[in-house]
């Protein structure tokens, strides 16, 4: 029991390792080292990245500063995708990660990160366009006659 207490005391005296978002460890603009005037603080804490994979939806709640809750996605199979030229946004299935500019390892492991190029199932988007009729086209004369009849002074 005494040896365990000694190990616990030694663990408490060592600096705490972990991911931190402080600038305390960085050098000054001139290149000089900054003095360490305090230990790591809770508000400087960082967390490991989620490394979100493609699969059945698995989301964990994470308690943050002030009691707020963030939702960390560990696996996802759907997403909200926008087709800019057609002004169309639909929730569709994610099929595969095709390209990632930052790291090829993320493509091989099918990890979903910001700015990753993904392949999606576009059946619902295509179905939306095939179901909707084509837009009516009016000539300039037809538009003027409609406007003048509605808004006559």
Q: How far apart, in whole angstroms, are the C-alpha atoms of residue 112 and residue 90?
A: 18
Residue-level pLDDT at 104: 96
- Give residue 113's pLDDT: 94
pTM for the structure as a whole: 0.66
| Secondary structure (3-state) at 29 | coil
Q: Which helix (H) or strand (E) holds 72?
A: strand 69-76
Q: For residue 142, what pLDDT is reported?
A: 66
pLDDT value at position 96?
95
User: How does pLDDT run along the chain (153 residues), one tens digit per residue?
Assistant: 555 566 666 555 555 678 999 998 899 999 999 999 999 999 999 999 999 999 999 999 999 999 999 999 999 999 999 888 878 888 999 999 999 999 999 999 999 999 999 999 988 777 776 766 666 566 666 666 666 655 554
* Cα torsion through 127, 128, 132, 136, rounded to 10: -120
> Residue 54: which of 81, 13, 93, 103 has the closest Cα?
93
Confidence at residue 146, expressed as pLDDT on a 0 to 100 scale:
61
Q: Residue 1: what pLDDT?
A: 55
**Following DSSP, what letter does each residue of 94-107 receive, concatenated?**
EEEEEE-SS-HHHH
φ/ψ of 11, rounded to 5, equals: -65, -35
């Amino acid at each position: 029991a005494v040896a365990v207490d000694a190990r616990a005391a030694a663990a408490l005296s060592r600096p705490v390792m972990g991911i931190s978002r402080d600038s305390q460890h960085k050098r000054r603009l001139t290149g000089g080292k900054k003095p360490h005037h305090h230990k790591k603080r809770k508000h400087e804490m960082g967390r490991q990245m989620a490394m979100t994979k493609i699969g059945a939806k698995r989301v964990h709640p994470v308690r943050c500063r002030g009691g707020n809750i963030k939702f960390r996605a560990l696996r996802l199979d759907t997403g909200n995708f926008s087709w800019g030229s057609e002004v169309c946004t639909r929730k569709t299935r994610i099929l595969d990660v095709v390209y990632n500019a930052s790291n090829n390892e993320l493509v091989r492991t099918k990890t979903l990160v910001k700015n990753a190029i993904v392949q999606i199932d576009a059946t619902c988007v295509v179905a939306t366009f095939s179901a909707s009729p084509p837009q009516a086209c009016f000539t300039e004369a037809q538009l003027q006659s409609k406007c003048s009849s509605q808004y006559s002074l």
